[in-house]
Amino acid sequence: MNNFDLAVCLTAVNLLAFFLFGVDKYKARKKKWRISETTLWTVSILGGSLGAWLGMQIFRHKTKHKTFVIGIPVLFVCQILIGTGILRYFQ
């Protein structure tokens, strides 16, 4: 996988995470079926932590859940550190 493909994949997963947080907030307000926290975490762990964090901030969603408020930013920092480590290793 080249850098362009990686960028496209990361963009897609971050847009998905952002979208899922927005949809879940909408469904919470309408008292409808919700997206599970497991799904939100899975997409975040698969590279969508930035989109998840932006979704939390823009939609004001999951901001009272300490696991999300602390966990998503920590996950993002870990993903940045791992990503830069991998890039440095393969250059």
Number of Cβ within 10 Å of residue 61's Cβ equals 22
What is the residue range of 8's domain? 3-89
The structure tokens 């762990």 sit at: 45
pLDDT digits (tens, 9 = 90+) for 56-65: 999 999 999 9
pTM: 0.92
Distance CA 10, CA 30 (A): 30
Distance CA 55, CA 16 (A): 10
The structure tokens 């990686």 sit at: 6
Please report the pLDDT score of residue 90 as a whole number.
85
pLDDT digits (tens, 9 = 90+) for 33-81: 999 999 999 999 999 999 999 999 999 999 999 999 999 999 999 999 9
CA 57 to chain centre: 12
Please report the pLDDT score of residue 87 as a whole number.
85
Distance CA 53, CA 23 (A): 14
Q: When comparing pLDDT for 3 and 39, which is higher?
A: 39
